[in-house]
Amino acid sequence: MTQLSRMTVTPLRAAMAGVLALAVPATALTLPSAPASAQADQLDQVVNALRSITTMRADFTQTDRNGQVVRGVMTLKAPRVRFEYEPSAKMLVVSNGRSLTMVDYEVNQLQRWPIGNSPLGALLDPSKDVKRYGKLLPTSNPNVLSVEVKDSRNGISITLIFVRDASAPGGLELTSWVALDAQNKRTTLRLSNQRYGMAVADSTFNFRDPRRSARRGR
């Protein structure tokens, strides 16, 4: 493995822990107490915004606690999503709405986690209600909404940040999320250049299984 690859894979694996935090069983989550009416209204706005997204594409920048950065493109066609990292990373994350797959072309490995009944499933599937899995956090800016999803079993949490934007579906734009693991290691993913409503082919969510290439090389 090259030095660049080693530097890139380290923050990627940390960030995958954050992404996968959303893939834990729903029964393992700490559910919030009944919110005040204003909080409930804001959570309803988040749910409406997520359900209003049919397709989306955005650039992302992923930063680990050491400041290491890797970039890529996220493509969403509910309930499917693809995180395509820059070529040097040699990794890919794809969800078909039922499972989340992490593909590591550096070591020819593939890992898959079920997400159908998880918070990630709720975020990607418009028919599910994210209010079951998240709670609203206070912010100092009325135009910013922060929603936390936490797994009390292993101490991992993800906080999703939305900004009010009349041009975004549902009037809210998902701009970033922050993942914290049980050791309080932070990974931040920021979205930019968000675009909505474009045609996205189903083949976008296909990928090459690296294990087959490894078998052929033996």
Half-sphere exposure of 32 (CA within 13 A, CB side): 18
Higher pLDDT, 96 or 197: 197
Locate the domains of the chain by residue range.
Answer: 3-196
Tokens (6 digits) for 190: 């920021």
Query: Tell me: the pLDDT tens digits for 78-118?
Result: 889 999 999 988 889 998 888 889 899 988 988 887 776 55
Write down the pLDDT at residue 78.
85
12 Cβ contact partners less than 8 Å away, ≥ 6 residues apart: 62, 70, 85, 89, 91
Write down the pLDDT at residue 32.
47
Best mean pLDDT range from 23-32, 122-131, 178-187: 178-187
CA distances from 157 to 44, 88, 124, 142, 184 (A): 21, 28, 18, 23, 9
Query: Tell me: the pLDDT tens digits for 163-183?
Result: 999 999 999 999 998 888 777
6 Cβ contact partners less than 8 Å away, ≥ 6 residues apart: none
Q: E-strand spans in the chain?
A: 55-63, 69-77, 80-85, 91-95, 99-104, 109-114, 135-137, 144-151, 156-164, 172-180, 186-196
Q: What is the CA radius of gyration of the chain?
A: 17
DSSP string, 97-154: SSEEEEEETTTTEEEEEE-TTSHHHHHH-TTS-GGGT-EEEP-S-TTEEEEEEEETTT
Cis amide bond preceding 79, omega within 30: yes
Q: So what CATH class is 3-196?
A: mainly beta
168 vs 180: CA distance, rounded Å = 27
Place 128 in a pLDDT band, splitting at 50, 70 and 90. Answer: low
177 vs 160: CA distance, rounded Å = 4
Judging by beta carbons within 10 Å of its beta carbon (0-12, 13-18, 19+), is residue 183 exposed, middle or buried?
A: exposed
Write down the pLDDT at residue 48.
87
Q: Flag whether pLDDT at 133 surpasses 70.
A: no
